[in-house]
């Protein structure tokens, strides 16, 4: 099966490559990059449970077709960032989510309001962001270019009527406003127009809130395999030790491993994510997790001055694509935990960080997990034990 937009859309790169070959290429890439280190167990890559319709989140941009003036809604065109590919059926999102794309596009065309022009920074409709759980709960966030005042007094009632038209097909319908020139699907203010203020996903025995502004793993099916690997690597000092979860987001990993430790401390700079983390521990009746809203490099630098001045047995790090700041690596080495579980979405930056860590730690296990079929991306979990 190959998407009708393949080769034009800038999303998937490898749909024309057989999936077993994709897996081999990703495994070879990870092992090749890490071959410079002395490694213990290098495990076979874990495949994605589903290779289509697996995405939990998608961001679509609005644009116009210069020749016809037709409004477009889709992904950036390959090698043409200012052009939009009008998506009819994206094979990475569910059929229900694709139907929402069509309904939104048709409504925008009838609204008489212009779509956003990325070059001129003019127009109204900017992005459609959707998030969906493995059980089919769907969140819609329609992001527009205006001020909060303009939206509330000129557009809100029209949007609320449209949001209500989805009924039970959409669990949460938001509209976010963003009148900056920055080309990111972020919002200055967000309005809940229909449904609940979150959707809920289950991973293993735990339930998690997913809000419009918080991070969640992209592959809604294979995330269980990823988290089970993290938990396996974190195990060892059951019930008597403390774990530090750096870049903890909404507390998903902290909660998933919480039964292994006496205490889990999560560090996260996004206050919205920490707010969700606190709600998630309440939802799951978890008593031994605490969360701190702070940048990792700041919190680690003064950890010994806080109430969290404890001897850590385990540190879990799940950084963004650029990897760890040098100050974070230095602070980790000073903390001197028994083991580190490094969760990476970028093998190249993982290698850079391991070069510093392996002076004091040895790599005992490496596990690649394919969370992103048909793309070059791969998740890697590395367990490091103190030498």
Q: 345 an active-site residue?
A: yes
E strand or H helix at 97 = helix 95-111
Can you tell me the distance from the alpha carbon of 128 to that of 234, in angstroms, rounded to the nearest whole number?
37
Backbone angles phi, psi at 161, to 5 degrees: -65, -40
Which burial class, exposed, middle or buried, applies to 77 when counting CB atoms under 10 A from its CB (0-12, 13-18, 19+)?
middle
Can you tell me the distance from the alpha carbon of 367 to that of 383, in angstroms, rounded to the nearest whole number?
9
Beta strands 339-344 and 379-386 are: antiparallel
Can you tell me the distance from the alpha carbon of 291 to that of 308, in angstroms, rounded to the nearest whole number?
11
Beta strands 242-246 and 263-268 are: parallel
E strand or H helix at 253 = helix 252-256
Whether 331 contacts 297, CB under 8 Å: yes
Locus of tokens 């969700």: 276
The beta strands (E) that lie in 146-305 are given as 172-177, 189-195, 199-203, 206-210, 242-246, 263-268, 289-293
Whether 101 contacts 135, CB under 8 Å: no
Locus of tokens 């609005």: 62
Q: Considering Cα of 363, then 317, then 349, then 25, what sign does the dihedral take?
A: positive
Beta strands 138-144 and 172-177 are: parallel
* Catalytic site residue from 12, 90, 248, 345: 345
Residues assigned a catalytic role: 345
């Amino acid at each position: 099966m190959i998407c009708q937009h393949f080769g034009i859309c800038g999303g998937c790169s490898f749909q024309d490559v057989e999936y077993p070959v994709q897996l081999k290429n990703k495994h070879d890439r990870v092992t090749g990059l890490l071959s410079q280190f002395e490694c213990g167990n290098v495990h076979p890559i874990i495949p994605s449970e589903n290779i289509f319709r697996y995405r939990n989140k998608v961001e679509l941009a609005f644009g116009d077709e210069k020749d016809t003036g037709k409004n477009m809604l889709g992904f950036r065109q390959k090698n043409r960032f200012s052009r939009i590919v009008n998506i009819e059926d994206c094979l990475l999102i569910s059929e229900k989510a694709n139907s929402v794309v069509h309904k939104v596009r048709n409504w925008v065309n009838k609204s008489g309001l212009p779509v956003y022009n990325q070059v001129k920074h003019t127009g109204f409709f900017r992005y459609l962001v959707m998030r969906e759980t493995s059980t089919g709960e769907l969140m819609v966030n329609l992001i527009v270019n205006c001020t909060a005042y303009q939206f509330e007094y000129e557009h809100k009632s029209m949007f609320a009527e449209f949001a209500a038209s989805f009924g039970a097909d959409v669990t949460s319908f938001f509209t976010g406003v963003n009148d900056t020139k920055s080309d990111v699907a972020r919002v200055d203010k967000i309005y809940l127009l229909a449904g609940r203020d979150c959707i809920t996903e289950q991973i293993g025995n735990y339930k998690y809130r997913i809000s419009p502004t918080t991070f969640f793993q992209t592959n809604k099916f294979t995330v269980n395999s990823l988290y089970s690997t993290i938990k396996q690597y974190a195990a060892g000092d059951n019930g008597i030790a403390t774990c530090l979860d750096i870049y903890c987001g909404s507390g998903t990993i902290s909660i998933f491993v919480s039964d292994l430790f006496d205490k889990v401390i999560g560090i996260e700079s996004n206050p919205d994510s920490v707010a969700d983390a606190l709600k998630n521990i309440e939802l799951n009746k978890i008593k031994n997790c605490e969360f701190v809203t702070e940048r990792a490099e700041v919190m680690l630098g003064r950890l010994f001055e806080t109430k969290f001045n404890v001897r850590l047995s385990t540190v879990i790090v799940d950084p963004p694509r650029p990897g760890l700041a040098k100050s974070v690596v230095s602070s980790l080495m000073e903390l001197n935990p028994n083991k580190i579980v490094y969760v990476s979405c970028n093998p190249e930056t993982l290698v850079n960080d391991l070069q510093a860590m392996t002076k004091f730690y040895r790599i005992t296990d490496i596990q690649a997990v394919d969370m992103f079929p048909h793309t070059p991306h791969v998740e890697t979990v590395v367990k490091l034990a103190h030498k």
